[in-house]
Amino acid sequence: MQKSVSNKPRIWRLYMRIGVLQWIILALVATVTYAADVMAQSILNREISVHLSDITLKKALYKIQKETEVKFVYSSKVSLDDRVSLNADDTKLFRVLDELLRPHGITYSIVDEQIILANARVDKRQAAASSSEQGIKDEVVPEDIMVNGTVYTSEDETALPGVSVVLKGAGRGTTTNVNGTFSLGVPDAQSVLVFSFVGYETQEIVVGNNTNLTVNLKVDNKLLEEVVVIGYGTVKKGDLSAAVSTVPDMAQIKNRPVLNVGGMIQGKVAGVTVVNNGGHPNQAPKVTIRGVGSRSDESVLYVVDGVPNAPYNPADVESITILKDAASAAIYGAFSGSAGVILVTTRQATAGKPSVEYVGFTGVKTAWKLPQSLTAQDEARVANLAYTNAGLRPLDGWDATKNPYAQVNRTDWIGEIFRTGIIQRHNLSINAGTGKFSTLLQARYEKDEGTLVNTFSQNLSLRFNTNYQFTNKIRLRQELFYNNNDNRGTSTESGYSGTILSAIYMPRSAAAYYEDGTFGGVGPRDSKYLGIHGDAISPLGTLMRNQPYNKANEILSVTELNISDIVPGLSYLSRFSYKQSDRQYKSFSPKRTEPGKPDNQNSLYYENNRYYQWIWENTANYSRVFGKHNLGGMVSMTAQENGSRNFNAAARGFENEADWAQFFVNATIFDQNRPSSDEWHDRNLSYVGRLSYSFADRYFLTGSYRYDIAGRLAMGYRGKGFPGVTAAWKLSSEPFFNVKGIDLLKVRASWGRIGNIGSIGRYYGYPRLSGTETYQIGDGAPRSNGYFVSSRFNTELSWETSQQTDIGLDLSILKNRLTVTADYFDKLTYDLIKRQDTDWTQTFGYDAPQINQGKIRNTGFEFSTSWRDQVGQVAYEIGGNFATLKNRVDYIDANPNSVWTHGEAWRGVLVPYRSTVGQPYYSYWLIKSAGIFQTDAEAEAYTGAKGRIQPNAKAGDLKFVDENGDGKINDQDRVYMGNAFPKITYGFTTNATWKNFDASLFLQGVGGVKLFNAFKQSTLNGTEQGYNRWDRILDAWSPNNTGSDIPIIRANDPNRNFQTNSDWYLENGDYVRLKNLMVGYTFNNLPGNVKLRVYFSGDNLLTFTKYSGMDPEVGGIGLDGGQYPVSRVFSLGVRLKL
């Protein structure tokens, strides 16, 4: 067992004191403008919309100035009289300026928030001439030379249509035709032609004597200049040396009816597996980065605008970055939870005249594939057949002459509980600002109704975001976010009361409502034959009786002070965030008197909960360029505290169940439920540092280290450090590298460690007693409270660590039209924290200690690529990603026979999971089945050394494989048969625009998934206690239906067809989904500068799968007992900006 806990608190404290001072001194020595860069970047990244039609540049810039509040400054040498036309919507300012100014030979730069215009640097001769140009700016130039030419791409020399060709200094120009050719009249041989095309570098050519020009345009590498948010900073995408992915197509994704980041990421990033936990509207999908490593809780850390676990409005998300490798996530140390980190940035207030924007969609949701139960007559038939086949007398209640009631169909329970749900989101933003102060005010309402009645999740939020620019150097950002959530879910997991399962269990002869309007039970109250039915609960009652008050208010405040150039090159950021959430829950459970599983007692339950979290983070950033050497450093310190107070109380015995009476004053029984209260606080302290160095844009090196001190651990075991190292070599920047067509070639390698603290309970260092109660003591069996030690305490418990090595390649070719990123990783999680489950038996009588044991390895290959191009007026983009994942238990303990047993069971009968070295974690461990015995003789002939292998088997029973050949079927015959986690994930996206139309298509799929369809155990089983069944049981084996794979219908099960953990339940869970199809139209020429886009979107339109359950996206460990299915959504959206 590896142990890496530092047990030297005193030394650390000393080091810390000195270290901090040193850091500050170090930080006080330098130049460069981390913050200023960010500032300029943010101005240029502002999105603006302008519609200019044949006006002078000067007027055009004036219009932009009004729109954005950015000032343009220019010398008299710069001519702004050229006439321009441009239509741009939601285009970044730099792109607009490039388009407007470049053809006219004007460059720009940002100084103190002003955009300074200048003539492009030309040779001295031209510079000298430029003063004379001033004088003739409005003159008509005679056309004395006709220039023809063809524009090619510089790499593969294909002709480029649509390239803008402009005579410099004049308002004249043309574009190349489909063959890439053009012709234009110029005044003289000194005339300069400016060639520009989106995605290519603008080129100027002096005409000279050559009237037939061949122009090769080079690909613009601006894409590679894109800035990517990483932990505690940003980096240029082209300079990344770690495995960091950004989610592409954010514009499309945001329009889809997905209400959380997990849903946005699904299928978009290689190596990130997102599995919906079914279709529960109030549950988020499970996001796993590079495989499951932990044996306990392993959740991804979300960092929103620098604040861990901050709430946000998903409509506001601008970018999502996933830190896939440990080296990049190591900067979040123990809080990255060994699963990885997802960084979210949201829209910020920008300068500009007040604008109002509405973005919203409304959609309808339906379940796409639902099971159905037997009709009343079929249920009777199946019940009688089951008893007859078991040698039992059929029950009188199923005799149509004796109990005709049970033979009439009254309710389609599946139809009763499923509906078409409405999903909607409305988001209104008001943005306004000057260079000194800008604000963004937003309001959102969203409601996601599930396809099961009375299930939903609803959010109402208000956000106020401001930016104060005190001076060039000092900036303050303040964020206020308020969210109100209300949600109602249902449990579909239980094998006894799961909602969907109950809808199958209920007889179709039962009425949904009795005549008095109350919920109907399994039969009429006065029926004499109720015992033929199982203890099924009306799913309609379960869903509709759940009417809690369940409001949670969340408030987030983030205050961020940014000081740049304290001394040149040093910037300092202090960020304080405070989050508080208050939840009140009031639930009244009425009596359930209808036959089935009655509960004749009502109860009122109240719960109040307050959670808070504050984080104070102080970061100093330094970066400097010394010639070809680029040096950066960052130190940060974070202190955080979170805590919660909780209180709940309940009472029973309400005579009146009316809404107005659902208060404690009307309760009569107070001694059966004790109130309970709880309070906890948790503190953590972290120190973070990073050094980065690059040489000549060729060699990149970074090293980071984080030291976390966690209060929840026992004294002496609280601190641990997490290192990360990355390196990259940009071959394409080497002087010797001169491969045509390759714009970027970079190899990367990284190594790092992250920890997991989530798996350790709070106050682990202070083992507490557990409370319980008994009714054994005292006359009348009152409640007595007891205390006990619930588990053994392991003083030596250490942290779980995940160590990962990554090797990657970034390639960009054909003018950046094709980009490829490939990665191989090897992630080993060790010192896994789990309750000891080897050498620990139930005979101890209390829980095992938490121990560090075992290793789980995940290795995988990830590949993503995209192709962007334009054909005529159709611009398109095709993206794909593909990832493999191999998950293995690498080591358990010194005993080679050790296994991890997993207790997850279906109705206490099926326990299908186990883990062992060499197999995936949570493998299915099952007996193989080999079809159905067609005759009694065949069953009798199935013999081994000791006679019959399945002594109780008859025709129609499952044949189990005697794997070890010992002549009997038992655990020794069980084999490992894969697990539920996808081994292959892939996604494929196409986006295209044509004129005002845009369309996108997104396919997503998984492979290597095995699902355990436990729903079959309860619904295709003739022995199950009077429950109605899935209508597929009609296809069960019988002497007349020998081709079936469903065992014979029989009210007993001596062969244990349904009680054996066999692969009969195991199914292929692979699927390919047409996840989204979207078509949009943008209205460009609406009056009053109004911009409007409307779109239609379909989600989960088609699913290709062999899985026989409702939906293959079962979630969790793949145990499907009738999971709430993922639904199909059709939605209509609008984006309107005034």
Partner 1 sequence: MKNTTKYLLVGLVFFLSACNEEWVDTKPNGEPTTAFFWKSEDDLNRAVAAMYQRMGSENTWGRNLFWMQNASDDVVTGRVRSESDNIKNFNITGREGSIANCWNDVYWMMNKANQVLEGAPTATGVSEAARNRALGEAYFIRAFSHFWLAYSWGHKNQGVPFDGPENPEYGKRLPPQLPSVTDNYALIIKDLEKAAELLPLFGTYGPADQGRAHKAAALGYMVKTYAYWAQYDPAKWGLIPALADRIKSEGNRALITGRGGPQANYQAVFTIASNWSSEYIWSANSGTQGGSIFPGVSLENKGWGIFNGWGYFQPTEELYEAYEKNDPRREVTILKFGDKFTYFGVERAYYSTNSLSGFQMRKYMEPYSYGKSENAGSNPMINQNGDGPSTRLNLPLMRYAEILLFKAESLIKQGKNTEAAIPLNEVRARVGLEPIASPTMDDLKHERRVELACEWTDRLADLKRWGDFDKINAPLYGRIHTNKTDPASPYEIKVIWPARSFDPAKHMAWPINPDEISRSNGVYKQTPGW
Q: How many residues bind partner 1 (CB under 8 A)?
A: 133
Cβ atoms 84, 117 nearer than 8 A? no
Any contact of residue 839 with partner 1 (CB under 8 A)?
A: yes
Q: How far is the CB of 1049 from partner 1 (least distance, A)?
A: 12
Q: Which stretch binds partner 1 (CB under 8 A): 137-145, 147-155, 334-342, 891-899?
A: 891-899
Give the whole-angstrom CA distance, residue 676 versus residue 648.
Answer: 5
Among 664, 737, 787, 1104, binds partner 1 (CB under 8 A): 787
Q: How far is the CB of 686 from partner 1 (least distance, A)?
A: 10
Among 517, 627, 908, 918, binds partner 1 (CB under 8 A): 908
As a residue count, the chain comes to 1138
57-68 helix and 93-101 helix, angle to the nearest 10 degrees: 170
Residues ≥6 apart with Cβ < 8 Å to 381? none
Among 775, 994, 997, 1083, binds partner 1 (CB under 8 A): 775
Q: Which stretch binds partner 1 (CB under 8 A): 169-177, 735-743, 770-778, 1030-1038?
A: 770-778
Any contact of residue 400 with partner 1 (CB under 8 A)?
A: no
Give the whole-angstrom CA distance, residue 1014 versus residue 910.
Answer: 8
What residues between 199 and 258 interact with partner 1 by CB under 8 A?
none
Any contact of residue 781 with partner 1 (CB under 8 A)?
A: yes
Among 85, 148, 656, 901, binds partner 1 (CB under 8 A): 901
What residues between 632 and 671 interact with partner 1 by CB under 8 A?
637, 639
Q: How far is the CB of 1056 from partner 1 (least distance, A)?
A: 7
What residues between 664 and 693 interact with partner 1 by CB under 8 A?
672, 677-685
Indicate if the alpha-carbon torsion angle 619, 625, 630, 631 is positive or negative.
Answer: negative
Give the whole-angstrom CA distance, residue 802 versus residue 334.
Answer: 10
Among 130, 388, 618, 964, binds partner 1 (CB under 8 A): 618
Any contact of residue 13 with partner 1 (CB under 8 A)?
A: yes
Among 793, 891, 988, 1081, binds partner 1 (CB under 8 A): 793
Adjacent-strand bridge partners of 289: 272
Cβ atoms 979, 947 nearer than 8 A? no
Any contact of residue 994 with partner 1 (CB under 8 A)?
A: no
Any contact of residue 112 with partner 1 (CB under 8 A)?
A: no
Distances in Å between the Cα of 79 and the Cα atoms of 203, 714, 923 are 19, 72, 72
Among 664, 766, 994, 1083, binds partner 1 (CB under 8 A): 766
Any contact of residue 776 with partner 1 (CB under 8 A)?
A: yes
For the record, the structure tokens of 160 come out as 């480029």
Matching residue, tokens 């996001």: 287
Among 897, 918, 946, 1088, binds partner 1 (CB under 8 A): 897
What residues between 1012 and 1041 interact with partner 1 by CB under 8 A?
1021, 1023-1026
Any contact of residue 936 with partner 1 (CB under 8 A)?
A: no
What residues between 296 and 325 interact with partner 1 by CB under 8 A?
none
Distances in Å between the Cα of 197 and the Cα atoms of 162, 213, 552, 831, 1103 are 7, 17, 52, 56, 40
For the record, the structure tokens of 822 come out as 């490939």
Among 142, 771, 931, 947, binds partner 1 (CB under 8 A): 771
Q: How far is the CB of 780 from partner 1 (least distance, A)?
A: 5
Indicate if the alpha-carbon torsion angle 484, 486, 491, 497 is positive or negative.
Answer: positive
Cβ atoms 1052, 1023 nearer than 8 A? yes
Any contact of residue 503 with partner 1 (CB under 8 A)?
A: no
The helix or strand, by DSSP H or E, that contains position 526, with its residue range, turns out to be none
Give the whole-angstrom CA distance, residue 1128 versus residue 1074.
Answer: 10
Among 268, 347, 533, 1016, binds partner 1 (CB under 8 A): 533
Cβ atoms 733, 239 nearer than 8 A? no
Cβ atoms 750, 727 nearer than 8 A? yes
Any contact of residue 396 with partner 1 (CB under 8 A)?
A: yes
- What is the b/e burial string over 683-696, where b = at least 16 CB atoms within 10 angstroms of the residue's CB? ebbbbbbbebebee
Any contact of residue 599 with partner 1 (CB under 8 A)?
A: yes
Q: Which stretch binds partner 1 (CB under 8 A): 242-250, 781-789, 822-830, 1108-1116?
A: 781-789
Any contact of residue 1136 with partner 1 (CB under 8 A)?
A: no
Compare residues 333 and 1008 and give the one whose CB is closer to partner 1.
Answer: 333
CA dihedral 149, 154, 160, 164 (to 10 degrees): -70
Give the whole-angstrom CA distance, residue 862 versus residue 857.
Answer: 16
Measured in whole angstroms, how far is the alpha carbon of residue 956 from the centre of its chain? 46
Compare residues 574 and 990 and give the one whose CB is closer to partner 1.
Answer: 574
What residues between 509 and 528 interact with partner 1 by CB under 8 A?
522-528
Compare residues 900 and 933 and give the one whose CB is closer to partner 1.
Answer: 900
Give the whole-angstrom CA distance, residue 229 versus residue 346.
Answer: 12
Among 404, 675, 782, 965, binds partner 1 (CB under 8 A): 782
What residues between 703 and 732 interact with partner 1 by CB under 8 A?
709-711, 715, 718-719
What residues between 912 and 931 interact with partner 1 by CB under 8 A?
none
Torsions phi, psi for 937 (to 5 deg): -65, -40
Any contact of residue 532 with partner 1 (CB under 8 A)?
A: yes
Compare residues 237 and 410 and give the one whose CB is closer to partner 1.
Answer: 410
What residues between 148 and 207 interact with partner 1 by CB under 8 A?
none
**What is the DSSP annotation of 816-867?**
TTEEEEEEEEEEEEES-EEE--SS--GGG-SBPPEEE--EEEEEEEEEEEEE
Q: How far is the CB of 596 from partner 1 (least distance, A)?
A: 8
Adjacent-strand bridge partners of 994: 874, 997
- The letter for the amino acid at 416 is E
Q: How far is the CB of 1067 from partner 1 (least distance, A)?
A: 22
Compare residues 786 and 967 and give the one whose CB is closer to partner 1.
Answer: 786
Q: Which stretch binds partner 1 (CB under 8 A): 63-71, 282-290, 370-378, 832-840?
A: 832-840
Q: Which stretch binds partner 1 (CB under 8 A): 230-238, 256-264, 596-604, 721-729?
A: 596-604
What residues between 564 and 583 interact with partner 1 by CB under 8 A?
566, 572, 574
Give the whole-angstrom CA distance, residue 928 versus residue 918.
Answer: 20
Compare residues 595 and 879 and give the one whose CB is closer to partner 1.
Answer: 595
Nearest C-alpha neighbor of 920 from the set 861, 960, 860, 1004? 860
Cβ atoms 46, 351 nearer than 8 A? yes
Among 471, 491, 935, 1042, binds partner 1 (CB under 8 A): 471
CB neighbourhood size of 454 (10 A) = 18
Any contact of residue 20 with partner 1 (CB under 8 A)?
A: yes
Q: How far is the CB of 278 from partner 1 (least distance, A)?
A: 25
Q: How far is the CB of 709 from partner 1 (least distance, A)?
A: 6
Q: How far is the CB of 113 from partner 1 (least distance, A)?
A: 17
The helix or strand, by DSSP H or E, that contains position 647, with its residue range, turns out to be strand 629-652
CA dihedral 771, 772, 777, 783 (to 10 degrees): 100
